[in-house]
Amino acid sequence: MIKFLLMVNKQGQIRLSKYYEHIDLAKRASLEVDVIKGCLSRKKEECSFVEYKDYKLVYRQYASLFVMVGVSENENELAVYELVHNFVEVLDKYFSRVIMFNLEKVHVILDEMILNGHIVETNKSRILAPLLVLDKMAES
């Protein structure tokens, strides 16, 4: 299962964080520091998978934004790598530019894709449906 998901900029500032397993706030901070440092310091020749404690980290860079996912040890890293791409494509479809000012909407999207650490939907239109309803409600 997916344990956590982080979106970070090149300077290591957190743009989005979601945890699917309870972690104490204090431990969370040090986890974030470790994970972010671990992924941002990777060289181009190194692969996108890192072993960290009892997690496997999968990270992917999109322009100036990094997506980092921590998964349990029995997960298929290549599939998670694809899932990250799927997520970014959905964001792209809705926002057309992923800038992360509408944080609450990103959470809505994420919740439609992943529930309790497992995939719930990967079809982009279905994922975005509730958000479009919300938008319509907000307008009226």
Partner 1 sequence: RMPAPIRLRELIRTIRTARTQAEEREMIQKECAAIRSSFREEDNTYRCRNVAKLLYMHMLGYPAHFGQLECLKLIASQKFTDKRIGYLGAMLLLDERQDVHLLMTNCIKNDLNHSTQYVQGLALCTLGCMGSAEMCRDLAGEVEKLLKTSNSYLRKKAALCAVHVIRKVPELMEMFLPATKNLLSEKNHGVLHTSVVLITEMCERSPDMLTHFRKLVPQLVRILKNLIMSGYSPEHDVSGISDPFLQVRILRLLRILGKGDDDSSEAMNDILAQVATNTETSKNVGNAILYETVLTIMDIKSESGLRVLAINILGRFLLNNDKNIRYVALTSLLKTVQTDHNAVQRHRSTIVDCLKDLDVRAMELSFALVNGNNIRGMMKELLYFLDSCDPEFKADCASGVFLAAEKFAPSKRWHIDTIMRVLTTAGSYVRDDCVPNLIQLITNSSEMHAYTVQRLYKALLDDISQQPLVQVSSWCMGEYGDLLLSGQCEEEEPIQVSEDEVLDVLEGVLISNLSSPVTRGYALTAIMKLSTRFSSVNRIKRVVSIYGSSIDVELQQRAVEYNALFKKYDHMRAALLERMPVMEKTAANGPTEIVQTNGEAEPSVLDVKHVPSAPQPSVQANDLLDLLSGNDMVPVIPTTVPTKPASAGGELLDLLGDLSLTVSISQPPFLLDGISSQPLFNDAAAGIPPMTAYNKNGLKIDFTFERSNSNPNVAVITIHASNSTEADMTDFVFQAAVPKTFQLQLLSPSSNVVPALNKGTITQVVKVLNPQKQQLRMRIKLTYNHRGSSVQDLAEVNNFPTQSWQ
In this chain, which of 10, 27, 92, 103 binds partner 1, going by CB under 8 A? 103
Contact of 78 with 86, CB cutoff 8 Å: no
Choices 63-71, 90-98, 130-138 (CB under 8 A): range interacting with partner 1: 130-138
Given phi > 0 = left and psi -120 to 50 = alpha, else beta, which region is 54? Answer: alpha
State which amino acid sits at residue 101. F
State which amino acid sits at residue 8. V
Smallest gap from residue 7 Cβ to partner 1 (A): 10
Distance separating alpha carbons of residues 60 and 47, to the nearest angstrom? 10
Residue 27 in contact with partner 1, rule: CB under 8 A: no
Distance separating alpha carbons of residues 85 and 52, to the nearest angstrom? 22
Residue 134 in contact with partner 1, rule: CB under 8 A: yes
In this chain, which of 37, 79, 92, 93 binds partner 1, going by CB under 8 A? 79
Strand partners, 52: 55
In this chain, which of 34, 37, 93, 115 binds partner 1, going by CB under 8 A? 115
Smallest gap from residue 31 Cβ to partner 1 (A): 12
Smallest gap from residue 52 Cβ to partner 1 (A): 15
From the list 51, 55, 61, 117, the residue with the least C-alpha distance to 84 is 61
- Site residues (vs partner 1, CB under 8 A): 14, 16-17, 20, 22, 29, 45-49, 76-79, 81-83, 86, 100-104, 107-108, 111, 115-116, 118-123, 126, 130, 133-134, 137-138
